[in-house]
Amino acid sequence: SQQGEEDPQALSIQEGENATMNCSYKTSINNLQWYRQNSGRGLVHLILIRSNEREKHSGRLRVTLDTSKKSSSLLITASRAADTASYFCATDNAGNMLTFGGGTRLMVKP
Amino acid sequence: GAVVSQHPSRVICKSGTSVKIECRSLDFQATTMFWYRQFPKQSLMLMATSNEGSKATYEQGVEKDKFLINHASLTLSTLTVTSAHPEDSSFYICSANRLTEAFFGQGTRLTVV
């Protein structure tokens, strides 16, 4: 079952700008993960944030988690053309089974 | 990091034939693996949970007789698409968890002609 919702569904920005993607979910979670997927390829894990964490950084990525609002955001700073991909959030509840959001298709124009 | 290998990466088959996709955890044991399916421009949808040594658990709407799953060892799960039809053409991805982190295979692009 799919519980996450992401917005926007598609985002187009210029190189150098920041990109923000949001994810909402419905049930309680153990952690929330963000994945990247290049067209036709497998997912690549970007970052995991646990339910007791509020913010996490990894390079140009910044993830926030608000469990009271059941939402998360992924910020990519100083975007590059190579960041063009689909980005998915996934929630991990009981049983380590991931439930994915609908994804955001990011296009970074050079 | 942990690696999950999926094979083949691409396969084209004729309608009515069966196709087997393998998912291997290369450097860890996985009692549970997951199979996902992705239609173009859509999110991954969980098809089934593969359990080592027991029957797979299928999501609602997924035909277990059509998508046969075998998890015979702690490092290998297979998904067989039986009597494939063009509407089965899709991108199939497996994943396995090590602790709390999920690792995904490279995916298999299935085209049924």
Q: Looking at per-residue confidence, does A45 or B102 come out higher? A: A45
Q: Residue A97 has what pLDDT?
A: 55
> pLDDT digit string (tens) for A29-49?
888 889 887 765 567 779 989
Question: What is the layout of strands, in order, in the sheet containing B67-73?
Answer: B4-7, B19-25, B76-81, B67-73
Instruction: For residues B57-63, give the mean pLDDT.
Output: 92
Find, in chain A, the residue whose alpha carbon is nearest to that of B94: A42
Distance from C-alpha of A110 to C-alpha of A50, rounded to nearest angstrom = 34
Residues of chain B contacting residue A90, judged by C-beta atoms under 8 Å apart: 102
Q: Residue B109 has what pLDDT?
A: 87
pLDDT in tens, chain A (110 residues): 334 577 888 899 999 999 999 999 988 888 888 988 776 556 777 998 989 999 999 999 999 999 999 999 999 999 999 999 989 898 876 544 567 777 888 999 99
What six digits make up the tokens of B1?
Answer: 């990091």
Distance from C-alpha of B47 to C-alpha of B29, rounded to nearest angstrom = 21
CB contact under 8 A, B45 and A33: no
Q: Residue A13 has what pLDDT?
A: 96
Using DSSP's 3-state secondary structure scheme, residue A95 falls into helix
**In this structure, which amino acid lies at residue B59?**
E
Instruction: For residues B103-107, give the mean pLDDT.
Output: 80
Residue-wise DSSP of B56-96: -EEPTT--TTTEEEEEEETTEEEEEE-S--GGG-EEEEEEE
The CA distance from B105 to the nearest CA of chain A, in Å, is 6
User: Strand A104-109 vs strand A85-92: parallel, antiparallel, or unpaired?
Assistant: antiparallel
CB contact under 8 A, A1 and B104: no
Q: Which residue has the tokens 């439930």?
A: A99
